[in-house]
C-alpha cells in the first residue's frame, strides 16, 4: 500500500458518503444504500472488497483494502467495478503507449 502524505476528509455521515459515491458515479443516482465495491488493482492478488472511507478532493478518494489504506482516482475505482476489468490488460495498454 501507499503512505498517504496528504490530509484527507472522513465522511461525517452515511448520507454524505452516499452523496459523494453518487457524485463519483460509484452508485446509482437514485440509490440510497452503499453497495459493495471491489478493488482489482496492483495491491491485491485477486478482486478484493474495499470500502471508500474518505476523500482528499474530487480526484482522490481514500479506500480501505484488507485493513490497509490507499488512495485512488474515483474513475479508476469505477472502472474496476466492471466484470471484464483486468489490471493486466490495463498494464499492457500502458506499456504499448510508451513505445
For the chain, what percentages of helix, strand and coil (3-state, to nearest 5) are there? Answer: 30, 25, 45
pLDDT: which is higher, 95 or 17? 17
The verdict on residue 86 lying in a domain is: no
Q: Give the pLDDT confidence score for residue 3 in this predicted structure.
A: 63
Alpha-carbon distance of 68 to 3, in angstroms, equals 10
Mean pLDDT for the stretch of residues 58-87: 92
Region of poorest pLDDT, from 38-42, 56-60, 93-97: 93-97
The verdict on residue 19 lying in a domain is: no
Domain that holds residue 46: 31-80
Q: How confident is the model at residue 61 (pLDDT cuts 50, 70, 90)?
A: very high
C-alpha cell of residue 15: 448520507
Calculate Rg over the CA atoms of the chain.
Answer: 14
The verdict on residue 13 lying in a domain is: no
Based on the structure, what is the number of domains in the chain?
A: 1
Q: Is 32 helix (H, G, I), strand (E, B) or coil?
A: coil
Alpha-carbon distance of 98 to 80, in angstroms, equals 23
The verdict on residue 58 lying in a domain is: yes
The verdict on residue 93 lying in a domain is: no
The verdict on residue 26 lying in a domain is: no
The verdict on residue 5 lying in a domain is: no
Q: What is the pTM of this model?
A: 0.80
> What are the tens digits of pLDDT across the range 30-50?
999 999 999 998 888 899 999
Amino acid at each position: 500500500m501507499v503512505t498517504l502524505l496528504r490530509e484527507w476528509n472522513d465522511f461525517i455521515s452515511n448520507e454524505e458518503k452516499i452523496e459523494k459515491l453518487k457524485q463519483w458515479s460509484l452508485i446509482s443516482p437514485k440509490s440510497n444504500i452503499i453497495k459493495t465495491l471491489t478493488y482489482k488493482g496492483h495491491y491485491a492478488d485477486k478482486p478484493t472488497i474495499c470500502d471508500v472511507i474518505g476523500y482528499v478532493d474530487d480526484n482522490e478518494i481514500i479506500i480501505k483494502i484488507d485493513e490497509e489504506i490507499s488512495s485512488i482516482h474515483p474513475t479508476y475505482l469505477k472502472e474496476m467495478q466492471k466484470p471484464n476489468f483486468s489490471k493486466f490488460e490495463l498494464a499492457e495498454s500502458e506499456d504499448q503507449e510508451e513505445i
